[in-house]
Amino acid sequence: MKKSIKSAFHNLGLRTWIEINQRALKNNYKIFRNLIGRKRLLMAVVKSNAYGHGLIDFSRSVEKLGIDWFGVDSIVEAENLRKNGIKKPILVLGYTLLDKINEAVKNNISLTVADFATLKKIKIINNNKEIKIHLKGKEFILIFLRLRIRRFRPRQCVKLKNLKKQSIFWNQPDLKKS
Q: Tell me the per-residue pLDDT of 93-125, one tens digit each, with 9 for 90 and over.
A: 888 888 888 888 889 999 888 777 777 777 666
Q: Tell me the per-residue pLDDT of 31-82, one tens digit each, with 9 for 90 and over.
A: 999 999 999 999 999 998 888 888 999 999 999 999 999 999 999 999 999 9
Provide the domain count of the chain. Answer: 2
- pLDDT level of residue 163 (50, 70, 90 thresholds): low
Amino acid symbol at 46: V
pTM of the model: 0.74
pLDDT of residue 175: 52
Domain that holds residue 147: 114-178
Residues 6+ apart with CB under 8 A from 11: none
* Residue 59 belongs to domain with CATH number: 3.20.20.10
Strand ranges for 1-122 from DSSP E: 43-45, 69-72, 90-92, 110-113
Strands 163-169 and 131-136, sheet pairing:
parallel
Q: What is the CA radius of gyration of the chain?
A: 19
- Structural domain ending residue among the three candidates 47, 62, 94: 94
The answer to whether residues 33 and 68 belong to one domain is yes
